[in-house]
Amino acid sequence: MNTAATRELMDYDEVVERFDPVLGLEVHVELNTRTKMFCGCSTKFGAEPNTQVCPTCLGLPGSLPVVNRMAVESVIRIGLALSCSIAPWCRFARKNYFYPDMPKNFQISQYDEPIAVHGWLDVTLDDGSTVRIEIERAHMEEDTGKSLHVGGTTGRIHGADYSLLDYNRAGVPLIEIVTKPIVGTGARAPIVARAYVTALRDLLRALGVSDVRMDQGSLRCDTNVSLMPRGVVTFGTRTETKNVNSLRSVERAVRFEMTRQAGVLAAGEKVIQETRHFDESSGSTSPGRRKETAEDYRYFPEPDLPPIAPSPEWVEQLRATLPELPWQRRQRIQREWSLSGEELRDLVNAGALDLVAATVEAGAPSGEARSWWVSYLAQQANARGVPLDELPITPAQLARVIELVASGELSNTLARQVVDGVLAGEGSPDDVVAARGLAVVSDDSALIAAVDSALAAQPDVAEKIRGGKIAAAGAIVGAVMKATRGQADAKRVRELVLERCTS
Amino acid sequence: MPVISRDEVAHLARLARLAVTEAELDVFAGQLGVILGAVARISEVAADDIPPTSHAVPRSNVFRRDELRPGLEQQQALAGAPAAEEGRFRVPRILGEES
């Protein structure tokens, strides 16, 4: 056990007072192509082990890899969406190593000729400020197999008796997106890291190139963190934290490493350059492989794969397929719905933007749709402890409720009861209206009878109204609404009360 | 003039997981030196503006369509494995290396 690992963490406020953090984020994204990068095996998640393999992805003698065109198109589209330059010519490279997660004893990757370089992604933080994250490169490679370590106590490699390998994932197209060093974020470094991965995930989802499921490993993030004392401009020694499997963990892992490294440095010791593992339950990192010597992967151009040379025409064709990107969409929505920057941000932060947009898409006016999602439905989601998009009501159902209110068939009070019914699993809004008998009572004769009986029950109030005290009508309206279980149109009831008292 | 040192041969042997004796290091350093010396003669005729050749055939953009092709059954996949368990390849424990 090295002593540095047991150093006390420094208080976060003190960390950012004394040090400037430098971040580097590596995101691996599995593409959602039907087949693997270099062979026709399925990429589907969750199959029985070693049932989606062939001689090529098992590295058997005599097999020959052939590049999946769809995967190349996807990475070019990713590169374009990140404002990268697309290399006019690039090669694959062999990365040689002996870890058994690749049956070939090498991984096909790209080394010094990545297909996309020098881009950026503008990331908006919760407070509305924007940080431009510079992208160093995006390159193509193949995912590795999955190891299961048997024996020992922790399920980790140390102490394991042997390992079991499933190569279904070996060869799945994988894109690695690497940022340039991110400096100057100070205390915001952890939230910048999280916001970047979130923005990248949203972008990849909009492009439709990946499932971007962090829980299933189709989006993975390694966080590189180093500290330099305030005023110093040379980077400190960095650590690379792996196994960061959720957006929240990205933020926690960066924050933890900052406090840990600061503790080490404050004790006059040196940060060790190493790979560390993030532990979800404790929110801490622990040392993994030491990087005492630079890895020697003996990269060389992959002889089995001819170079990729995307023509300008092909690149432009692919650019034309780019969908509306998340930030373009947000700008359009802000314009179309006449929102202030703050209102838009609230919608985004509440996770309501897509839901409101879908409700509008289903025919509802944006104001009503927005109001339902951010107030009443947000309260219901909060009460149930679920994210807004997991409430059992669809945007189309909500749009129908809004339509019923607009046509006068439901009052606002009744509309809430209909929504409650939908949330309780009673069916569609129309089902709930029918089953609960919730249509607004618009038959005047029924209302007049109710008004008359309310006036008769409160003769003193009736007398006041007849004497000109119109404000007293409220009591009668209230009584009628109660008698009709809220199903009457209060405005119409009021009109009738005044009519009956003056005629 | 040694083209490759004894230490470099030892390093390469370690990376390739080859057990090489002290005596063999000298033998291989000599043999590899001859091979490298022969290959180095190419640079005598290749000018600086001629990039190293990585592929014998000048082709690019060789692609396949994203279409499923039948692969191997699990049993076939594992047939050549020295050891298998629970449908997976079984390998000796790996020390000092991690994915």
CB contact under 8 A, A303 and B54: yes
pLDDT band at residue A293 using 50, 70 and 90 as cut-offs: low
Say what the pLDDT of residue A487 is: 76
d(CA B16, CA B13) in angstroms, rounded, equals 5
Cβ contact B90–A162 (<8 Å) = yes
For residues A30 and A168, the answer to whether their CB atoms sit within 8 Å is no
- Name which of B61, B75, B76, B78 to mutate to probe chain A: the one with the most chain A Cβ atoms within 10 A of its Cβ: B61
Computed over every residue of chain A, the mean pLDDT equals 91
CA separation for the pair A221, A238 (Å, rounded):
16
* Domain locations along chain B: 1-46
Tally of CB atoms within 10 A around B46: 12
The answer to whether the Cβ–Cβ distance between B86 and A34 falls below 8 Å is no
Nearest to B77 by CA among A275, A167, A331, A21: A167
What would the mean pLDDT of A334-354 be, rounded to a whole number? 90
Query: Poorest-confidence range of A110-114, A151-155, B77-81?
Result: A151-155
Produce one character per residue of A315-346: b if its CB has 16 or more CB atoms within 10 Å, e if not: beebeeeeeebbbebbeebbeebebeeeebbe
CA distance A134 to A149: 37
Are A370 and A235 found together in one domain?
no
DSSP bridge pairs for A119: A135
Query: Which of B14, B17, B60 to mutate to test binding with chain A, by most A CBs within 10 Å of its CB?
Result: B60
Phi, psi of A123 (to 5 degrees): -115, 125
Q: Which residue of B has its CA nearest to A34?
A: B66
Q: Which residue of B has its CA nearest to A51?
A: B74
**Containing structural domain, residue A251:** 3-296
pLDDT in tens, A92-119: 999 998 889 999 999 999 999 999 999 9
Q: Among A436, A456, A475, identify where a domain stops.
A: A436
pLDDT tens sequence across B1-58: 458 999 999 999 988 889 999 999 999 999 999 999 988 888 888 878 888 888 988 8
Structure-token match 């008292």, residue found: A501
In which element (H, E) is residue B38 found? helix B22-40
Among A210, A283, A296, residue whose Cα is nearest residue A246: A283
User: Does residue A292 register a pLDDT over 60?
Assistant: no
Q: Is residue A302 part of a domain?
A: no
Confidence of residue A289 (pLDDT cuts 50, 70, 90): low
Q: Do A193 and A337 fall into the same domain? A: no
| Nearest residue in chain B measured CA to CA from A305 | B62
The verdict on A178 and A114 lying in the same domain is yes
Asked whether residue A408 falls in the same domain as residue A376, the answer is: yes
Contacts of B68 in chain A (CB under 8 A): 34-35, 40-42
Within-domain flag for A320: no
On whether any CB of chain B is under 8 Å from the CB of A317, the answer is: no
Nearest-CA residue of chain B relative to A44? B68
Contact A163 B98 (CB under 8 A): no
Q: What is the pLDDT of residue A483?
A: 82
| Whether residue A47 sits in one domain with residue A174 | yes
Across the range A245-270, mean pLDDT stands at: 95
Per-residue pLDDT, A442: 65
Pair of tokens at residue A175: 């894109």
Indicate if A407 and A484 belong to the same structural domain. no
A/B interface, count of CB pairs below 8 Å: 144
Q: Please state, in angstroms and as integers, the Cα–Cα distance from residue A481 to each residue in A409, A462, A463, A477, following that order.
A: 16, 17, 20, 6
| Contact with chain B for residue A313, Cβ under 8 A | no
Among chain B residues, CA nearest to A298: B15
pLDDT at A291 over 80: no
Q: What pTM was computed for the model?
A: 0.83
Of residues A1 and A103, the one with the higher pLDDT is A103
Q: Are A191 and A81 part of one and the same domain?
A: yes
- Alpha-carbon distance values, A470 to A272, A456, A458, A482, B1 (Å): 81, 17, 15, 20, 113
* Fold of the domain spanning B1-46: Histone, subunit A (1.10.20)
Specify whether A275 is located in the same domain as A415.
Answer: no
Taking 90 as the threshold, does the pLDDT of residue A319 lie above it? yes
Task: Give the distance from residue B23's alpha carbon to the nearest chain A alpha carbon, in angstroms.
Answer: 25
Q: Are residues A231 and A82 in the same domain?
A: yes
pLDDT in tens, A393-437: 999 999 999 999 888 788 888 899 999 999 999 999 999 988 888
Residue A332, min C-alpha distance to chain B (Å): 34
Residue A122 φ then ψ, to 5° = -85, 125
Q: How many structural domains does chain A have?
A: 3
Across the interface, whether the CB atoms of A50 and B90 are under 8 A apart is answered no
Identify which of A436, A452, A461 has the alpha carbon closest to the alpha carbon of residue A493.
Answer: A452
- Write the DSSP symbol of residue A174: E
Read off the tokens for A30: 């599995």
Same domain, A223 and A85: yes
- B interface test, pick of A158, A164, A243 with most B CB neighbours within 10 Å: A164
A39 touches chain B (CB under 8 A): yes
Check CB contact of A41 with chain B, cutoff 8 Å: yes
Task: Report the C-alpha gap between A115 and A74 in whole angstroms.
Answer: 11
Of chain A, the percentage scoring pLDDT greater than 90 comes to: 70
- Print the SS3 string covering A250-273: HHHHHHHHHHHHHHHHHCCCCCCC
Model ipTM? 0.89
Q: What are phi and psi of A39, to 5 degrees?
A: -150, 170
The reply to whether residue B66 touches residue A147, judged by beta carbons under 8 angstroms, is: no
CB contact under 8 A, B91 and A162: yes
Is residue A16 within 8 Å of A187, Cβ to Cβ? yes
CB pair distance less than 8 Å for B66 and A166: no
User: Closest to A40 (Cβ–Cβ): which among B61, B69, B77?
Assistant: B69
Angle (CA) A298-A300-A306 rounded to 5° is: 155
Q: Pick from A50, A99, A161: which is nearest to B87 by CB? A: A50
H helices, E strands: number in chain B: 4, 3
Buried/exposed code over A472-500 (b: 16+ C-beta within 10 A; e: otherwise): bbebbbebbbebbebbbbbebbbbbbbeb
Domain shared by A264 and A227, yes or no: yes
* DSSP tag of A182: B
Residue A400 sits in the same domain as residue A451: no
Residues 96-125 of A with CB under 8 A from B: 96-101, 103
Mean pLDDT of the A473-477 span: 88
A290 interfacial to chain B (CB closer than 8 Å): no
Q: Which residues pair with A25 in a beta bridge?
A: A223
DSSP H helical ranges for A183-296: 189-207, 247-266
